[in-house]
Amino acid sequence: MNSFEYASPRTEEEAVALLSAHGGNTAVLAGGTDLFNLLRAGCITPSRVVDLKNIRSLQGVSATSRGVLIGALTTLDELLVHPLLKPYDSLAQIADGVHSIQIQSMGTLGGDLCLLPNCWYFRNGYGLLGMERGTSLPATGRNEFHAVLGNRGPAKFVSASRFAPALIAWGAVARIAGPEPGQVSELPLEYFFTSPKTADQGVTVLQPGQILTHVLIPDPVHDEVQSAAYEVLQMEGLDWPLASAAVCLANSAGVVREARIVLGHVAPTPWVSLDAAAALVGREIDETVAQAAGNAAVASATPLSENEYKVQIARTAVKRAILRAAGQLEGALS
Amino acid sequence: MAERKFSWPARSEATLIGKDIQRIDGVAKASGQAKYTADINTEGTLFARLLTSPHAAAKIKSIDVEQAKKMPGVRAIHLFKNEGDEIRWEGELLVAIAADRVELADDALKVVKVEYEELPFYVNEADIVRAAHADRTKGLGKNEKGDVDAALKTAAVVHRGYYGVSTISHMCLEPHGSHCQWDGDDLDVHLSTQNVSGTPGQFAEPLEIDASNVTVTSDYEGGGFGSKFAADEWGIACAKLSREAGKPVRLMLDRAAELKIAGTRPSGYADVTIAADSEGKIVAWDSVHWGTAGFGGGGVDVNQLPYPFDFENRRAAQIGISCNTGPNRAWRAPPHPQLCALTQTAMDDLAAKMKMGSYEFFEKNLAFALQDKGPVYAEQMKIAAKAIDWKAKWHPHGQGGKGPVKRGLGLALHRWGGGAGPCTCTVKVHQDGSVETFLGSQDIGTGTRTIIAITLAETFGLPLTGVKVNLGSSKYPQSGASGGSITVGGVSGANRRAAQTALWEIFDKVAEKYKLESADGLVAKGGDILKGKEKICTWKQACSLLGPMGLETKGESSQKTKDGLTSDQVGGVQMVDLSVDTETGLVRIHKFVCVQDCGLILDELTARSQVLGALIMGIAYSLS
């Protein structure tokens, strides 16, 4: 691990200033559940690590006139139990699915949304694109856990965030501070994630000196909204999903009026499937309809040499997230 | 005087044997007081880190460590490879650097310059066609009996299938490694090893010192599974670094190196044709199997397939695949897990094709069980079936439910040699009544220390706290490596013999002192020496008769020791009730039953733990 400066700011402004130094070669420490892995492996070599844990404004969950505001430092176990988040079933399901007390206790929502990929080429020093001498290693080598959608560009990894699909399905907004002190901006979380085209681009829109401070979940415009998530993991213990899906369904008289379906771990960014959503609108949910949405979600999949199985798993995740949201998953399996 | 024979007490009469006894070192381990090799940190210890090959096949054009030598804190550098040497698998060791701190050693490794000439490599262990095309296959023999071709022609049902289990890594919780410290020509090695008695010589030869100069110690160990019998090149390097630096050095493999070079279990893939008559009796087995044991090829022994059956007409052929991967090492009952999976999944598929129940199909073919174990397996199957409620839960193959989650039952049989491993020990009974034993065995995490304490305490009628177990040093009486499930048999037999020999001598002195007609009928129990219900004296009073030198006895065990204390050749049956989510691949186990020959159980808690560990490992095998 390279030597680095450590800074512990008390305010967002201080953090932004500290992160802007060293030409932006800085890193954010929140829960630290992944940062130290990256540092020890030499995947990142920041000159300064900025510890956000003492910035009070980044903590906690609060009700605002626009919706529920979640601080980036909110831990996963807080997401699981916070009363303001009770209506958001899909979030609790994701938090509950992180089968590690340590990560639930230490991991933060902001950290999850900013996670760097678990791609084994990246984690072994080949950069986000996994390039070696001009060759894409994920494209030509082992790729069983890589992307099956949105993988025609140079990025073949999958987005590591577990909460992004559920939050995007809820229409969440990202609040970003910096790069100038006091500067704040917002954008739909859907557009927070990027698929890098070059080795020096990142996986989010964050530029040097910027931090994700909060996520706002707007109050639903519909009265009757059902949400659910479904993750497929290879192992019951500490593991990353092979594929996941989160849905929000706005219903009226048992018929879906509006749907948002977002897949996770299948593409370099969380993957919003308009086709899957369209397959639900105007219909009553049953297994056939859910299956059709699942099929639509993966219709444009382009699996790599070793990960065709993920198409089936993503299809199933979508189907089961829909059935779970509609209260029909129990009994549909056996 | 009645004849004295080595024997175990009946379990019903035993005080400790067969009871639930917690590990005597459990608190030390849980509290961190127990020091593993990875914990040894004597004053001035340097820390070594390793540079390994990123290439699976390459020739080294140059290695330059000059800049590394000048890095802060660097005390010694060892080269495993030199210019012109060939790399045969990823992770091969290139350079070790010992420095004042781990981070400084890491920093120094970063400035080592290595130029490679990359060479073609092959790593696909499952694809026999590609392996042949890459000229990486080698025939490793055939094994044939009867007339397979004729039997296949006349069989009622023939099934052909492809089966396989991949290479898996040992992945010891405590990685391989050592701590080496010199005192003149004497070398003290703390080694994470399954082979305390057998490793001093492995250090001595390459270091050009006498084996008597080497002391290997392993007080506690975080698992070996068959991969820790050798000093290993990194162990020798640690000693060389220590000698060069004039300071103690600790060198443990990091997790990545542990995965790549410290041991794998060979893979086994098979193309199987199996046939039965109309009654379900297997009439032919015909298989070609392949796999890899690393660069050297090898794999699953052709002479043991099918398993654990010997059908009247059988033919097996083996092909080894040379992969550019780390070498294999012994792995829990080699290669029985692979043999079991290859044989019995094919048998079950044949049963399905015949629309026969798995239980009935296996039962019908027990006549072919090796070593005439059929009747034993039959009884074990009955016990297991009752425990898992086989009759109520069984449904024909393919009828596991309408939804995507299918539920079903499965069963398998196994066997293993076991028996008593080689062991010598010295038991000392002191004049004050304290007892200790010395043996160059090791506790690899399986409860060996506790088993020995139980054996001695039971024999002398003492509490567990009344005996002391000294193991884990090569300076103690020689004991075999801990592998092959022969350690408990070896150490308990040897200690029982030594203890009974001592006890008989003590009984003789008691009889003489207390003017008994003979020592016949004397027993040691509850800290006393009894004759019937009559207390003759206390244990301490008896031991006071030994004089200031106390008493020292030897005990031995080996596979040749046939006095009834240990036996071998065990078998077992396992049954499982599980569900498979056919849309996601998720497997959920509802119930898992193991019926196992155990022989004499010394510690039921440890025996149960062993069975549970085996079941968990079996789950990992089948899902990996």
CATH code where residue B191 lies: 3.30.365.10
Q: What is the mean pLDDT of residues B146-154?
A: 98
> Are B403 and B435 contained in the same domain?
no
B72 touches chain A (CB under 8 A): no
> Are B538 and B610 contained in the same domain?
no
pLDDT tens for residues B288-332? 999 999 999 889 999 999 999 999 999 999 999 999 999 999 998
Cis peptide before A9 (omega within 30 of 0): no
Query: Among candidates B466, B465, B462, B435, which has minimal Cα distance to B527?
Result: B462
Instruction: State the smallest CA–CA distance between residue A206 and chain B in angstroms.
Output: 30
Long-range contacts of range B119-124, CB-CB < 8 Å, 24 or more positions apart?
B119/B55, B119/B57, B119/B58, B119/B59, B119/B86, B119/B87, B120/B57, B121/B55, B121/B56, B121/B57, B121/B324, B122/B322, B122/B323, B122/B324, B123/B56, B123/B323, B123/B324, B123/B325, B124/B323
B102 touches chain A (CB under 8 A): no
- Pair of tokens at residue B360: 């009935």
> Are B527 and B447 contained in the same domain?
yes
> Mean pLDDT, chain A, as a whole number?
95
B405 touches chain A (CB under 8 A): yes
> Are B15 and B51 contained in the same domain?
no
Q: Do B584 and A232 touch (CB under 8 A)?
A: yes
> Are B537 and B599 contained in the same domain?
no
Does residue A13 form part of some domain? no
Please name the residues in contact with B263: beta carbons below 8 A apart, sequence gap of 6 or more. B169, B170, B225, B226, B227, B326, B327, B328, B329, B331
Query: Cα A82 to chain center, whole Å?
Result: 20
A334 touches chain B (CB under 8 A): yes
In Å, the largest CA–CA distance within chain A is 61
For residue A221, is pLDDT > 80? no
Nearest CA in chain A to B579: A334
pLDDT tens for residues A102-155? 999 999 999 999 999 999 999 999 999 999 999 999 999 999 999 999 999 999
Query: Among candidates B468, B492, B496, B495, which has minimal Cα distance to B606?
Result: B492
B403 touches chain A (CB under 8 A): yes
Does residue B605 form part of some domain? yes
Domain span at B605: 369-417+569-624
Does residue A306 form part of some domain? yes
- DSSP one-letter string for A250-313: EEETTEEEEEEEEEESSSSS-EE-HHHHHTTTTS---HHHHHHHHHHHTTT----TT-THHHHH
* Count of CA atoms in the C-beta half-sphere (13 A) of A68: 20
The rounded radius of gyration (Å) of the Cα atoms in chain B is 28
Amino acid at B603: D
For residue A222, is pLDDT > 90? no
For residue A223, is pLDDT > 80? no
Does residue A278 form part of some domain? yes
- Pair of tokens at residue B494: 């040897």
Phi, psi of B385 (to 5 degrees): -65, -40
> Are B373 and B483 contained in the same domain?
no
Q: What is the mean pLDDT of residues B4-14?
A: 92
Query: Higher model confidence: residue A293 or residue B621?
Result: A293
Q: What is the mean pLDDT of residues A159-170?
A: 98
Cβ–Cβ < 8 Å for B353, B159: yes
Q: What pLDDT band is residue B2 in, cutting at 50, 70 and 90?
A: confident
Instruction: State the smallest CA–CA distance between residue A82 and chain B in angstroms.
Output: 31
Instruction: State the smallest CA–CA distance between residue A130 and chain B in angstroms.
Output: 15
Does residue A287 form part of some domain? yes
> Are B66 and B215 contained in the same domain?
yes
pLDDT tens for residues B225-252? 999 999 999 999 999 999 999 999 999 9
Tally of domains within chain B: 3
Nearest CA in chain B to A242: B584
Does residue B101 form part of some domain? yes
Q: What pLDDT band is residue A309 in, cutting at 50, 70 and 90?
A: very high
Q: What is the mean pLDDT of residues B98-106?
A: 96
Does residue A200 form part of some domain? no
> Are B63 and B210 contained in the same domain?
yes
Cis peptide before B335 (omega within 30 of 0): yes
pLDDT attached to residue B204: 98
Query: Among candidates A152, A151, A80, which has minimal Cα distance to A117?
Result: A151
- ipTM, two decimals: 0.92
- Pair of tokens at residue B85: 């040497």
Tell me the range of A30-39, B380-389, B417-426 where mean pLDDT is highest.
B380-389
Query: Among candidates B69, B59, B55, which has minimal Cα distance to B109?
Result: B69
* Count of CA atoms in the C-beta half-sphere (13 A) of B307: 24
**Nearest-angstrom CA–CA distance, B323 and B56:** 9
Q: Using a CB-CB distance cutoff of 8 angstroms, which residues of chain B are in contact with residue A333?
A: 403-405, 581
The rounded radius of gyration (Å) of the Cα atoms in chain A is 19
> Are B441 and B522 contained in the same domain?
yes
Say which CATH number the domain at A229 has: 3.30.390.50
For residue A1, is pLDDT > 80? no
A25 touches chain B (CB under 8 A): no
A133 touches chain B (CB under 8 A): no
Q: Do B579 and A334 touch (CB under 8 A)?
A: yes
**Nearest-angstrom CA–CA distance, A114 and B375:** 62
Q: What is the mean pLDDT of residues A25-54?
A: 94
> Are B413 and B426 contained in the same domain?
no
Instruction: State the smallest CA–CA distance between residue A36 and chain B in angstroms.
Output: 14
Q: What dihedral do alpha carbons B589, B591, B596, B602 form, nearest 10°?
A: 100
Q: Do B405 and A334 touch (CB under 8 A)?
A: yes
pLDDT attached to residue A235: 85
Q: Where are the beta strands (DSSP E) in A116-240?
A: 131-132, 135-136, 173-177, 184-188, 211-218, 225-233
Q: Using a CB-CB distance cutoff of 8 angstroms, which residues of chain B are in contact with residue A1?
A: 103, 106
For residue A67, is pLDDT > 80? yes
Q: Using a CB-CB distance cutoff of 8 angstroms, which residues of chain A are in contact with residue B407?
A: 334
**Nearest-angstrom CA–CA distance, B343 and B346:** 5
For residue B621, is pLDDT > 90? no
Q: Using a CB-CB distance cutoff of 8 angstroms, which residues of chain A are in contact with residue B583?
A: 312-313, 316
Residue keyed to tokens 């970063």: B110
Does residue A244 form part of some domain? yes
Q: Using a CB-CB distance cutoff of 8 angstroms, which residues of chain B are in contact with residue A232?
A: 584, 586
pLDDT tens for residues B440-463? 999 999 999 999 999 999 999 999
> Are B592 and B505 contained in the same domain?
no
User: Kindly report the CA angle at B390 between B386 and B391, in degrees rounded to 5?
Assistant: 100
Q: What dihedral do alpha carbons B609, B613, B619, B623 form, nearest 10°?
A: 160
pLDDT attached to residue B567: 86
Does residue A308 form part of some domain? yes
For residue B418, is pLDDT > 90? no
Tally of domains within chain A: 1
> Are B396 and B485 contained in the same domain?
no
Chosen domain end from B204, B236, B261: B261
Does residue A18 form part of some domain? no
B532 touches chain A (CB under 8 A): no
Q: What is the mean pLDDT of residues B340-363?
A: 97
**What order do you get walking across the sheet with B113-118 strand by strand?**
B86-87, B58-64, B113-118
Of A232, A234, A334, the CB nearest to B401: A334
Task: Output the pTM of the full model.
Answer: 0.92
B340 by Cβ neighbours in 10 Å (0-12 / 13-18 / 19+) ranks as buried
For residue B1, is pLDDT > 80? no
A313 touches chain B (CB under 8 A): yes
Does residue B137 form part of some domain? no
A309 touches chain B (CB under 8 A): yes
**Nearest-angstrom CA–CA distance, B293 and B329:** 8
